[in-house]
Chains A and B, each alone.
Chain A
Amino acid sequence: MNELLDQLMVAIKAGKRKDARAATAAALEAGIDPQSVLDALTEGMNDVGKRFRANVIFVPEVLVAARAMQKSMDLLEPVLVASGIEPEFSIVIGTVEGDLHDIGKNLVMMMLKGANFKVIDLGVNVSAETFANAVAEHNPNLVALSALLTTTMPAMERIVSELSSLNSSIKIMVGGAPITQAFADQIGADGYSADAASAVELAQKLCA
């Protein structure tokens, strides 16, 4: 692989935002096609996800990697748009009504961006109605629901039920500290993942 793209990947893996930005700028300036730059970013974040899941790195390391990725994307995105390169899949994501926690949701969001998903972030405390409106507006491939509190798990169930009744083909994935595969099955979600890295694999599987 090109030396500049190598530098970009190393910068993403280590969470070095200045290096990531510099390597991206240099790569684009050198005329490397934007899809290859994007692939290097995705590969870097994929490695971050693998090490996170293997308990080699932790939330702070993922956050700095995602921040470095964002610095690179700031430069790359306009070039991608100009070249007509768009993410293949889109996902609407939010923390369910009554729940204000967002670290987990943000981690999933960043990892999805790193895997080249278009992410529509509805934030925290999101009602079924807001999710339904976002689905109608963006027509995403997937919806992802997060909950940290045991007390907001019923809201998750409600949202899954309402979204499914409005659009039976919409795929919904769920996650968060108290959520389990059994709960996901019980409420009729299409998938559950235990951590942000697995969430990307699950999203890819559900979109395939």
Chain B
Amino acid sequence: MNLMETHEMPDKTILLKAIAGEKTERPPWVPFVGVHGGALIGVDAETYLKSADHIVDALKIAAERYKPDGLPIVFDLQLEAEILGCELSWAKETPPSVISHPLDDDYDFDGLPEFSIEKGRIPLVLDAIRRAKSEIGEDIALYGLLTGPLTLALHLRGDEVLMDMFDEEDKVPQLFNYCAEVANKMVSAYSEAGIDVVAVVDPMISQIGPGHFTDVVAPSLNKIFSHVRAKGALSSLFVCGNASRNLGAMCATSCDNISVDENVDLVELAKLARDSGKSFGGNMQLTVVLLLGDVDDAKRDAVRCLDQAGDGGGFILAPGCDLPYAVKPENLEAVAALIGDPYHIDIIRNLPAKDSNDNFDDILIPDYVNSKAVIVDVVTLDSAGCAPCAYMMKAAQEAANVYGQEIEVHEHKITGRDGLGYMTKLGVTAIPSISVDGKETFASFIPERHVLVSAFAKAADAKVLSSSGLGEAL
């Protein structure tokens, strides 16, 4: 009997409900697979971002491995800029960078190439959306990402635009209006191709203050969000970096959802977002945890996000931003396995801190070898409150009765120090778990009764061999 009592995954209805601010039976999960898709199929970022075939192939693999409720099709904030005359420098493991700004010298809007969804790489992105829609779109919500107005303005004008906010009272609103028009062409194309959620990605918002955000950026953002709504899709505002000071102003825009990275306090965002009727998402740590950490770090960080987000609904678990190319797939798989499994979440929540130096010297475990009885240690979350734990405890006790020889069955709950001590000292790998005479024998899986009985008998035989000296001889 497998103990994984999981909720069904993927399930895009959960995600769409959460974005609309509703409570859901489990948190939806959206790993932002961008150039990481290239790593999944063994091609570099440039090759990946220039091929609809590669994108669709990688999304199918991501769908299978990461069980996401939503996936972005392409995470590349240079798509529009490339069409508008910005030169790009391509890299192997990151999206391209803009290296020239066509409005560098002056605000010559007429000199810009005309923006069209027929140009650049947009046709291949739209093709990828249509194909992904038919391949994985039934269960997984598709995110269409576009470049936010501040970031696009910086691509077109360079850093000067930040100073122009003080000097160019006419030109700056014109530029932001232009960027919103470009964005709305993307919104229309995305929505016709079948996108469920339009994400306006504007990382540069973290570099400005609330005054400039409200006066300069928000009007253009609201034009985009209104258009998304008119097209029947949902909107999300993605910001990377420390946008803490702008959270209030961001919540005052008309988007449905706000997604942030690890620089933002999720507790604060949860309050602000819920107070203004918005959903929110984030903010798993990209580098320290998902790229450089291990499975255990990933699970703990996911639970940290869930706990900080609270249980008021409207929360989407996601990484803080575009996943690094070489992010460890096993870390994302671990998050996927975790979030549909409330027991697993409770277990992670109860573990001692990873940097804890506690060796549990005060918890003494029995001398298994010299004990006459077979000793069965069942390490649980708490059999009173955790159904799989209760089944496992009951199975161990019933098998012990059937076995009928000298045997002791003990429960150790990891909600207390005793359980944590046994977990550490026995090297328990999963909860609930059965160890027989100090050796983890069944983890997260209840074997049939005869298998358990036979494991007890084998342990008893080992004692006999050991005490007669035959164990060493054999």
Chain A residues packing against B (C-beta within 8 Å): 15, 55, 57-61, 63-64, 67, 98, 100-101, 103, 106, 149-151, 177-178, 180
Interface string of B237-274 (1 = CB under 8 A from A): 00001001100000000000000000000000000000
Q: Is the CB of B207 within 8 A of A150?
A: no
Interface size on B, residues (CB 8 A): 25
Q: Provided the pairs A58-B209, A59-B208, A150-B291 are in contact, do residues A64 and B324 lie with their beta carbons within 8 angstroms?
A: no
> For residue B89, which residues in chain A have a CB less than 8 angstroms away from its CB?
100
Interchain CB contact (< 8 A) of B159 among A57, A98, A106, A150: A106
- Closest B residue to A194 by CB, please name it: B242
- Closest B residue to A177 by CB, please name it: B241
CA distance A160 to B286 in the complex (A): 24
Q: Is the CB of A60 within 8 A of B93?
A: no
Q: Is the CB of A57 within 8 A of B287?
A: no
Q: Is the CB of B163 within 8 A of A63?
A: yes
Q: How far is the CB of A195 from chain B (nearest CB, A)?
A: 10
- Closest B residue to A16 by CB, please name it: B166
Q: Is the CB of A100 within 8 A of B99?
A: yes
Q: Is the CB of B163 within 8 A of A60?
A: yes
> For residue B97, which residues in chain A have a CB less than 8 angstroms away from its CB?
100-101
> For residue A55, which residues in chain B have a CB less than 8 angstroms away from its CB?
244-245
Interchain CB contact (< 8 A) of A64 among B166, B208, B241: B166
Q: Is the CB of A61 within 8 A of B209?
A: yes
- Closest B residue to A180 by CB, please name it: B288
Interchain CB contact (< 8 A) of B162 among A57, A63, A149, A178: A63
CA distance A59 to B162 in the complex (A): 8
CA distance A58 to B165 in the complex (A): 12
Q: How far is the CB of A60 from chain B (nearest CB, A)?
A: 4
11 CB contacts below 8 A, A to B, read A58-B208, A58-B209, A58-B245, A60-B162, A60-B212, A61-B209, A100-B89, A101-B97, A150-B286, A150-B287, A150-B324
Besides the known contacts A151-B91, A151-B324, A151-B325, 9 further A-B residue pairs in the complex with CB atoms under 8 A apart:
A15-B166, A57-B209, A60-B165, A63-B159, A98-B91, A101-B97, A149-B94, A151-B93, A180-B288
> For residue A63, which residues in chain B have a CB less than 8 angstroms away from its CB?
159, 162-163
Q: How far is the CB of A99 from chain B (nearest CB, A)?
A: 8
CA distance A191 to B287 in the complex (A): 20
Q: How far is the CB of B34 from chain A (nearest CB, A)?
A: 13
> For residue B99, which residues in chain A have a CB less than 8 angstroms away from its CB?
100
> For residue B162, which residues in chain A have a CB less than 8 angstroms away from its CB?
59-60, 63
The 10 A-B pairs at the shortest CB distance, nearest first, are namely A60-B162, A58-B209, A59-B207, A100-B97, A151-B93, A150-B287, A63-B163, A178-B287, A64-B163, A58-B208
Q: How far is the CB of B283 from chain A (nearest CB, A)?
A: 15
Q: How far is the CB of B46 from chain A (nearest CB, A)?
A: 13
> For residue B166, which residues in chain A have a CB less than 8 angstroms away from its CB?
15, 60, 64
> For residue A67, which residues in chain B have a CB less than 8 angstroms away from its CB?
163
- Closest B residue to A98 by CB, please name it: B91
> For residue A151, which residues in chain B have a CB less than 8 angstroms away from its CB?
91, 93-94, 324-326
> For residue A61, which residues in chain B have a CB less than 8 angstroms away from its CB?
209
CA distance A100 to B209 in the complex (A): 24
> For residue B286, which residues in chain A have a CB less than 8 angstroms away from its CB?
150
Q: How far is the CB of A37 from chain B (nearest CB, A)?
A: 23
